[in-house]
Amino acid sequence: MVEAVETMDGWWSLHDLRTIDWASWKLASEAERQEAIKSFEKLVTKWDTVEEAKNGSHAMYKVVGQKADLMFMFLRPTLDEINELETEFNKSKFAEFLIPAHSYVSIIELSKYRPAKDGVDPETLPETQARLKPILPKWEHICFYPMDRRRAGDENWYTLEKNVRGKLLYEHSLTGRKYANKIKQFITGSIGLDNWEWGVTLFAHDPLEFKKIVYEMRFDEVSSKYGEFGEFFIGNILKKEDIASFLHV
């Protein structure tokens, strides 16, 4: 029987995408719009406080294209906290002008393909803990997409021996390392949690780097033979201080 791989699981994650109902936003009174903006800013301040206390993290982006207008990525220690956060958001004045566009539930995941060094469980290392409970970068651009590992005929990831999968992922990591300082990647696992097996969230200063890394990785065996991809979402950062001008009509 093929051996599964053990995973190290960190903070829970929610990608929450919303479309702004611009028609009702424009029909609202100026006082109502101001109330909605204030409610949104208040929430962001609360999320910032959680992040400062290192009890979670968030990212907030304006989506390019018509799939949504806003993309949030929330990280919290428990699924309950994720749920509380989205419910509080849904109850806010601002949410009266938002239409859910898409959501994705997963958990920050690292896998244990490499044998433990000197018998030390990697999960106990501070650097691993920092990667499992990361503070998301506030870089200018985000790219999010879900993916699966193929399970078809001879191209079946789940019938490959663990050491073969480990080797293919090691080769994948070599391509990834070329993008150090250009791309920050967060892999969230969603097997048993959502429709795809992993979520890939990338941050970049230059959005062209998304195309470059994804293109180059398409030729790595782990992607060319065993990668299946879902919808892509691309966004530009929305800073708290720019909320009012972004929503100005």
Nearer to ligand VOV, 78 or 185 (CB): 185
Residue 150 marked in a binding site: no
Residue 149 marked in a binding site: yes
Q: Which stretch binds ligand VOV (CB under 6 A): 48-56, 62-70, 100-108, 171-179?
A: 171-179
User: Which helix (DSSP H) or strand (DSSP E) does residue 4 occupy?
Assistant: none
Q: What's the closest the beta carbon of residue 189 comes to ligand VOV, in angstroms?
A: 8
Is residue 104 part of the annotated active site? The answer reads no
E strands, the chain, where? Answer: 7-20, 57-63, 70-76, 98-111, 141-149, 151-152, 155-156, 183-189, 198-204, 227-229, 233-237
Nearest Cα to Cα of residue 202 among 234, 240, 230, 177: 234
Burial of 141 (0-12, 13-18, 19+ CB in 10 A): buried
Residue 185 marked in a binding site: yes
Report the site for ligand VOV in 46-105 (rule: CB under 6 A).
Answer: none
Residue number of the CB closest to ligand VOV reads 176
Interface ranges with ligand VOV (CB under 6 A): 110-111, 113, 147, 149, 169, 172-173, 176-177, 179, 183, 185, 187, 198, 200, 202, 213-214, 217-218, 223, 227
Binding-site entries for Fe-coproporphyrin III: 131, 145-149, 172, 185, 223
